[in-house]
């Protein structure tokens, strides 16, 4: 089954409207929570008075930070480099608010409407402070200070270095430098966030349903913050309508809902509305890159030197430094870069806290590198494909140790056929024929461009994932996984892996995710880790169950286990298909009291944890073709080619869906999406009116070629691939727009390339066509 494009087992329920998202969880007596949010970007909180809100009929409770205890618990962070001067977020602001949308107080009422009405009765005195919203400005002397422990607004500076950088630059024929900026944007899942908390009066166990990508992590963090044993909390991830990394965070409401449910003794629900989503979801991507490249005249890369400034917003939650770190260790990509030095600066600003979004640092670094390479090619008068070809690592150089360490794991490119993938993509996109087509188009007054992006990605991060495979007394197979997918088709993928081991039809296997009550340990779904980590754990558990099943079956028919095989849902004697035992008979024998070989433990279940810190790196080549309207600056994406290498592909159809979805998000980032803040810290992108995302008509058909260079790091040979589309998509499209217009005399150094931006670039180069200015 591994390698088969079977249909997703998940889809029939979803298509029939039978899914259970967080808002579908309902109880008698359910209360609703609403959060009063700061309207100011930076202010001292002089007083918060919730008494009037409490008096409103239908209101059950209202509270502020003062009610969280003498020392309110801070949200922990998971990555703690030496230079870190942490600014943890508290569930509600204590003495200062630092971004618009920060929670100040909470109301719990019989309905969401009543709760929101009561918010208006809460009296808050603010003393306004000057805000700083630009990361570059924030780290200059004299800027308003967010946190006393970091008077320069630098939360951390991480340095990544390998090779002799000074020598590389001293010995170079050419050094080219650029500042390249990526904007603040983020994931826009169809389902916003949500949390339901319900304490069972009998067991005193609090069950929490949350749209979280890491239920076990949420359970453990909550137990710490509430100071209760982990066993008293059960977190369940129900169906999730999209996550993209931004639901792999721990948010204030993740604490506030269970806390409120505990206070009032009734179930409480909070569902984020779209406005709250824009204000408070983890923002991402915003980085300023100052990059320098040292080269020989023939285009050989000798070294890269960079400083990048990540806009981390007002606080760091669990993964708050990850984008900066991964951008540092991703900058060289899959090229031969003998010397590298990146200084990753994490700046605090009066904006929503930033964290991981699909690719987490890789899209940013990839943009800096791939945009720079195009600029270098132009300056050297060299073909941009030839420049890349010359510097790509070869299969003979694998595994390739970059000498860097990322998130406590060595950055070693485990496997790959980079040149082959590159040539395949150029062929599919007809790169060789494009120059002539472009010239012909220009002669007709049309602006077309082709953009290349070579990306790679850290996937399948450790340290572990858990999976159990159980056969019930009636013979059916159930998988419990520590993963918490958000629409990736992971159930189908895991069932395919188990089906190969157990030889039962994959669609008879039930797959259960994200429930701390069913599996002791789990990590969740992020970092493109499901196939690698959850897949391997399920494979390990399936293998154990298979071996035990064969031994039980052999015992029942009185042969040696090595004479038994599993086939078509039965165990039979090799060469004698009629001497067979069903899974129900095997399972019955495994039941305590059953007919087992002497010394064998009862039960037919295996719980396995795949422990692994060696992360496989996947990669791909994206080539986009665009047309820019010279009158309006509007970009239309035409052909789009991807060659992707994620090792063994468990389900090609699923994989292609992942790539296409990622490309759509990358395209959005290249052309449209931006979370804009005014200089006083007021967010300007607070609804879909002001934050444009691509619709189906904006996204081209994506032509996909697969290459399968198996990873040596796990038995399946898989690498992760869920985020790659979003990494490659952004830069392929941005480079294509640049290719369409840069001959006019402008240079693309930032995204998004909105129509007005593109038009302004053309105009400033003196190249806007006659008449265009009259309507601008």
Least distance (Å) between residue 352 CB and ligand SMO = 16
State the virtual CA torsion across 17, 23, 26, 29 in degrees, nearest 10.
-150
Contact call for residue 431 and ligand SMO (CB under 6 A): no
> Using CA atoms, how far apart are residues 758 and 750, in angstroms rounded to an integer?
11
Compare residues 245 and 258 and give the one whose CB is closer to ligand SMO. 245
Compare residues 356 and 502 and give the one whose CB is closer to ligand SMO. 356
Compare residues 77 and 526 and give the one whose CB is closer to ligand SMO. 526
Compare residues 488 and 492 and give the one whose CB is closer to ligand SMO. 488
Compare residues 283 and 358 and give the one whose CB is closer to ligand SMO. 358
Considering only residues 336 through 395, tell me which ones interact with ligand SMO, judged by CB under 6 A: 356-358, 360
Compare residues 360 and 497 and give the one whose CB is closer to ligand SMO. 360
CB-count burial class (<10 Å; 0-12, 13-18, 19+) for 112 = middle
Among residues 101, 103, 197, 245, which is the contact residue for ligand SMO, using CB under 6 A?
A: 245
Contact call for residue 248 and ligand SMO (CB under 6 A): yes
> Using CA atoms, how far apart are residues 756 and 207, in angstroms rounded to an integer?
49
Compare residues 2 and 527 and give the one whose CB is closer to ligand SMO. 527
Compare residues 25 and 210 and give the one whose CB is closer to ligand SMO. 210
Compare residues 374 and 723 and give the one whose CB is closer to ligand SMO. 723
Least distance (Å) between residue 357 CB and ligand SMO = 5
DSSP line for 131-194: ----HHHHTSTTPPPS-TT-TTSEEEEEEEEES-HHHHHHT-SEEEEEEEEE--B----SS--E
Least distance (Å) between residue 716 CB and ligand SMO = 20
Least distance (Å) between residue 458 CB and ligand SMO = 8
Structure tokens at 443: 């002669």
Compare residues 347 and 356 and give the one whose CB is closer to ligand SMO. 356
Least distance (Å) between residue 329 CB and ligand SMO = 13
CA distances from 373 to 215, 283, 405 (A): 41, 27, 24
The separation between CA 254 and the C-alpha centre of its own chain, rounded to angstroms, equals 19
Least distance (Å) between residue 335 CB and ligand SMO = 22
Q: Using an 8 Å Cβ cutoff, are 211 and 243 in contact?
A: yes
> Using CA atoms, how far apart are residues 134 and 490, in angstroms rounded to an integer?
39
Structure tokens at 392: 């790509």
Site pattern 488..527 for ligand SMO (x: CB under 6 A): --------------------------------------xx
Whose tokens are 């943009």? That residue is 367
Compare residues 73 and 724 and give the one whose CB is closer to ligand SMO. 724
Compare residues 357 and 422 and give the one whose CB is closer to ligand SMO. 357
Q: Which of 295, 355, 292, 424 is closest to 155 using CA atoms? A: 355
Mark residue 655 as left, alpha or beta (left: phi above 0; alpha: psi -120 to 50; beta: remaining): alpha
To 10 degrees, what angle do helices 724-741 and 652-671 make? 40
DSSP line for 61-74: EEEEGGGG-SSPPP
CB-count burial class (<10 Å; 0-12, 13-18, 19+) for 525 = buried
Q: Which of 198, 29, 31 is closest to 111 using CA atoms? A: 31
User: Peptide bond before 399: cis, by omega within 30 degrees of 0?
Assistant: yes
Q: Using an 8 Å Cβ cutoff, are 157 and 81 in contact?
A: no
Q: Using an 8 Å Cβ cutoff, are 521 and 464 in contact?
A: yes
Compare residues 335 and 526 and give the one whose CB is closer to ligand SMO. 526
Q: For ligand SMO, which residue has the nearest CB?
A: 245
Q: Angle 684-689-690 (CA atoms, 0-180°, nearest 5)?
A: 30
To 10 degrees, what angle do helices 384-391 and 362-380 make? 120
Cβ partners under 8 Å of residue 70, min gap 6? none
- Could you give phi then psi for residue 684, rounded to 5 degrees? -105, -15
Q: Using an 8 Å Cβ cutoff, are 443 and 586 in contact?
A: no
Pairing of strands 287-295, 400-406: unpaired
Least distance (Å) between residue 322 CB and ligand SMO = 7
Least distance (Å) between residue 23 CB and ligand SMO = 23
Residue 283: beta bridge partners? 354
Q: Using an 8 Å Cβ cutoff, are 547 and 555 in contact?
A: no
Site pattern 258..277 for ligand SMO (x: CB under 6 A): --------------------
Per DSSP (E only), the strands in 629-772 are 635-645, 703-707
Least distance (Å) between residue 611 CB and ligand SMO = 20
Compare residues 438 and 612 and give the one whose CB is closer to ligand SMO. 612
Compare residues 589 and 646 and give the one whose CB is closer to ligand SMO. 646
- Could you give phi then psi for residue 227, rounded to 5 degrees? 55, 50
Considering only residues 702 through 761, tell me which ones interact with ligand SMO, judged by CB under 6 A: 723
> Using CA atoms, how far apart are residues 9 and 752, in angstroms rounded to an integer?
37
Residue ranges in contact with ligand SMO by CB under 6 A: 245, 248, 356-358, 360, 526-527, 723
């Amino acid at each position: 089954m591994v390698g088969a494009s079977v249909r997703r087992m998940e889809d029939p329920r979803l298509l029939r409207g039978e899914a259970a998202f967080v808002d579908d969880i309902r109880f008698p007596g359910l209360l609703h929570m609403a959060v009063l949010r700061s309207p100011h970007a930076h202010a001292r909180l002089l007083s918060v008075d919730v008494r009037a809100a409490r008096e409103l009929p239908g209101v059950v409770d209202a509270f502020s930070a003062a009610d969280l205890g003498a020392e309110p618990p801070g949200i922990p962070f998971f990555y703690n480099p030496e230079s870190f001067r942490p600014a943890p977020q508290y569930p509600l602001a204590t003495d200062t608010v630092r971004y618009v949308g920060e929670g100040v107080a909470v109301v719990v009422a019989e309905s969401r409407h009543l709760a929101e009405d009561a918010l208006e009765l809460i009296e808050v005195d603010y003393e306004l402070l000057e805000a700083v919203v630009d990361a570059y400005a924030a780290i200059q002397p004299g800027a308003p200070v967010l946190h006393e422990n970091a008077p320069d607004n630098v939360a951390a500076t991480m340095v990544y270095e390998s090779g002799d950088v000074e020598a590389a630059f001293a010995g170079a024929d050419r050094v080219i430098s650029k500042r390249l900026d990526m904007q603040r944007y983020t994931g826009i899942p169809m389902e916003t966030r949500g949390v339901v908390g319900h304490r069972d009066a009998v067991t005193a166990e609090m069950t929490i349903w949350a749209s979280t990508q890491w239920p076990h992590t949420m359970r453990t963090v909550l137990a710490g913050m509430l100071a209760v044993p982990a066993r008293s909390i059960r977190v369940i991830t129900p169906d999730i309508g999209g996550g993209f990394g931004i639901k792999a965070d721990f948010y204030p409401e993740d604490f506030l809902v269970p806390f409120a449910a505990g206070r009032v003794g009734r179930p409480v629900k909070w569902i984020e509305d779209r406005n709250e989503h824009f204000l408070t979801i983890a923002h991402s991507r915003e980085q300023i890159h100052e990059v320098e490249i040292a080269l020989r005249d023939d285009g050989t890369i000798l070294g890269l030197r960079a400083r990048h400034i990540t806009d981390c917003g007002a606080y760091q939650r669990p993964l708050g430094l990850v984008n900066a770190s991964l951008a540092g260790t991703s900058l060289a990509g899959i090229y031969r870069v003998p010397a590298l030095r990146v200084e990753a600066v994490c700046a605090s600003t009066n904006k929503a806290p930033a964290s991981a979004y699909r690719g987490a640092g890789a899209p940013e670094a990839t943009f800096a590198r791939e945009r720079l390479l195009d600029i270098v090619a132009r300056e050297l008068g060299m073909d941009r494909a030839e420049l890349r070809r010359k510097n790509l690592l070869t299969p003979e150089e694998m595994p390739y140790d970059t000498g860097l360490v990322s998130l406590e794991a060595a950055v070693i490119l485990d496997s790959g056929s980079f040149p082959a993938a590159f040539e395949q993509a150029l062929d599919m996109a007809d790169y060789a024929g494009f120059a002539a087509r472009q010239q012909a188009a220009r002669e007709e007054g049309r602006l077309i461009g082709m953009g290349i992006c070579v990306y790679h990605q850290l996937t399948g991060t450790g340290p572990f994932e858990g999976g159990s495979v159980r056969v019930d007394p009636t013979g059916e197979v159930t998988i419990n996984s520590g993963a918490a997918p958000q629409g990736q088709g992971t159930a189908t993928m895991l069932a395919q892996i188990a089906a190969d081991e157990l030889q039962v039809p994959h669609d008879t296997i039930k797959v259960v995710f994200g429930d701390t009550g069913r599996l002791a340990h789990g990590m969740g779904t992020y970092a493109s880790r499901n196939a690698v980590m959850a897949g391997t754990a399920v494979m390990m558990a399936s293998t154990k169950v298979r071996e035990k099943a064969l031994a039980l079956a052999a015992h029942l028919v009185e042969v040696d286990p090595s004479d038994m095989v599993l086939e078509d849902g039965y165990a039979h004697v090799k060469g004698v298909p009629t001497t067979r035992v069903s899974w129900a008979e095997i399972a019955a024998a495994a039941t305590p009291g059953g007919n087992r070989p002497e010394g064998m433990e009862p039960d037919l279940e295996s719980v396995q944890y795949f422990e692994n810190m060696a992360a496989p790196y996947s990669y791909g080549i994206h080539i986009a073709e665009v047309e820019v309207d010279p009158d309006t600056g509007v970009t239309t994406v035409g052909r789009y080619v991807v060659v992707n290498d994620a090792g063994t592909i468990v389900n090609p159809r699923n994989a292609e869906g992942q790539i296409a979805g990622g490309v759509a998000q990358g395209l959005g980032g290249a052309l449209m999406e931006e979370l804009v803040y005014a200089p006083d810290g007021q967010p300007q992108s607070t609804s879909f009116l002001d934050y444009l995302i691509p619709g189906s008509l904006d996204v081209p058909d994506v032509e996909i070629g697969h290459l399968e260079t198996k990873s040596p790091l796990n038995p399946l040979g898989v690498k992760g691939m869920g985020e790659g589309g979003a990494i490659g998509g952004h830069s392929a499209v941005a480079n294509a727009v640049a290719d369409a217009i840069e001959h006019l005399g402008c240079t693309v150094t930032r995204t998004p390339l909105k129509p007005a931006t593109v038009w302004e670039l053309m105009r400033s180069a003196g190249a806007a066509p006659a008449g265009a200015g009259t309507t601008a």
